[in-house]
Amino acid sequence: MNKNTDRVVLAYSGGLDTSVAIGWIAEQTGREVVTVSVDVGQGGEDLDVIRQRALDCGAVEAYIADARDEFATDYCMPALKANALYEGAYPLVSALSRPVIAKHLVRAAREFGASTVAHGCTGKGNDQVRFEVAITSMAPDMDCLSPVRDLALTRDVAIEYAEKHSLPIETTKHNPFSIDQNAWGRAVETGFLEDLWNAPTKDVYTYTDDPTYPPLPDEVIITFKEGLPVAIDGAAVTPLQAIQELNRRGGAQGIGRIDMVEDRLVGIKSREIYEAPGAVILIEAHRALEAVTLERLQRRYKRQIEQTWGELVYEAQWYSPLKRSLDAFIEDTQHYVSGDIRMVLHGGRATVNGRRSESGLYDFNLATYDSGDTFDQSSSRGFIEIYGMQPKLAAARAERLGEGEGF
């Protein structure tokens, strides 16, 4: 066999399913397996430990990528500029990480001579779509494979396989939840959460403390330049550092807990618990600064674009032509989004209480009702006459035809 086209690249987390998948794929397809582990700020085990586990489980190569800054800068920051919240609540925690992981999967496939890319997703979730659409959008010649979906690798089979082959992976500890996490946030599902009436228990949360008993209020000033956070309390930060710092401070106040039922791409409604303190704080601050700096019609239209942008990213269209076009519009809107936002973090809430911007459209002398007011109030009468002309004519017509409302 030609090894240049005979390998499978596997997205590898180091857990039971993907560890078993290494040998399972080899047995079922006769191909060598190269694993790819991408650090997007998920924490947990050291990637060098995960790399060695992959080799011990039978991988011929184990590729490691530190993509934390790349993820924060090239994926989370566009989402921030878009104020992206799927269905008004979900800050796209997992949806944002899949395109960058897919990028490294394709890069490894090219480097190690693989024609197929595999992932550990099931056939019921969004992530199978996100991975495979992203992969084929970058590499249309690549094939995609899901051991769980395509090769009947169920959990009970995985446990039996791991025990039979003495794989260096824990198989007896039972975690009732399915968890995905990265620098932008944390997603939790399944287990007792599938009963919509069950409230989350304390063990569901890791990124956030209980907001019922918060510490003293924490005031923070976030400085933006052209839509990006560049300093916190006057100290310069990278996008990753901004997210990490606000995750820490917001998490201590219990900010960013989200409990929602969302519409999955595959047509299933799913109950999800999210923790995203940094994302929630940054989006709230960014929105507040846009309220000061964006022109009215531009801001109004951008809100429509934001919803579409979030839906596209959620629905696996990161690399689509429409997403690319919307990116250009959103980027253009950020030219004047610079300044400082002051917020109080406390008891699960991030509350804006101060705004300042050299590029803002707020004019104190126009807005004030006190002396020094420069607004010419006499102009308003003519404005109202013109603005209300069409509904006035429509009302007169209805009365003339006997169709009036009868006030």
Q: Which two tokens stand for residue 243?
A: 């997210």
The residues facing 259 across adjacent strands are 273
* Alpha-carbon span 359 to 352, nearest angstrom: 19
The reply, when asked if residue 274 is annotated as ligand binding, is yes
Selection from 168, 160, 120, 116 nearest residue 142 by Cα? 116
Is there a binding annotation on residue 13? yes
Residue 299 marked as a ligand binder: no
What pLDDT score does 154 carry? 81
The CATH code for residues 3-174 is 3.40.50.620
Please tell me whether 120 is known to bind a ligand: yes
Report the pLDDT value the prediction gives residue 12, as an integer from 0 to 100. 95
Mean pLDDT by 10 residues, the chain (407 residues): 69 90 93 96 88 96 96 98 98 97 97 94 90 96 92 84 84 69 94 94 95 96 98 98 98 98 94 97 98 98 98 97 98 98 98 98 89 89 96 93 78
Q: Does residue 380 have a known ligand-binding role?
A: no
Annotated binding-site residue? 262:
yes
pLDDT of residue 118: 95
Q: Is 130 annotated as a binding residue?
A: yes
Question: Does 17 appear as a known binding residue?
Answer: yes
Q: What are phi and psi of 259, to 5 degrees?
A: -125, 110
In CATH terms, are 3-174 and 179-294+336-356 the same topology? no
Max distance between CA atoms of the chain, in angstroms, equals: 88
Residue 174's pLDDT is what? 60
pLDDT at site 3 = 45
179-294+336-356 belongs to CATH 3.90.1260.10: yes
What pLDDT is attached to residue 333? 98
What is residue 36's predicted lDDT score, i.e. its pLDDT?
Answer: 97
312-369 pLDDT per residue, tens: 999 999 999 999 999 999 999 999 999 999 999 999 999 999 999 999 999 988 888 8
Pairing relationship of beta strands 143-145 and 235-236 according to DSSP bridges: unpaired
Positions marked catalytic = 17, 98, 127, 178
Output phi, psi for 87, to 5 deg: 55, 35
- What is residue 171's predicted lDDT score, i.e. its pLDDT? 55
- The pTM of this model reads 0.93
Q: Is 272 annotated as a binding residue?
A: no
User: What pLDDT sits at residue 5?
Assistant: 55
- Dist. CA 218–CA 368, nearest whole Å: 30
Query: 71's torsion region: left (phi>0), alpha (psi -120 to 50) or beta?
Result: alpha
Domain limits, the chain: 3-174, 179-294+336-356, 375-400
pLDDT tens, residue by residue, 158-210? 888 888 888 887 655 566 688 899 999 999 988 899 999 999 999 999 999 99
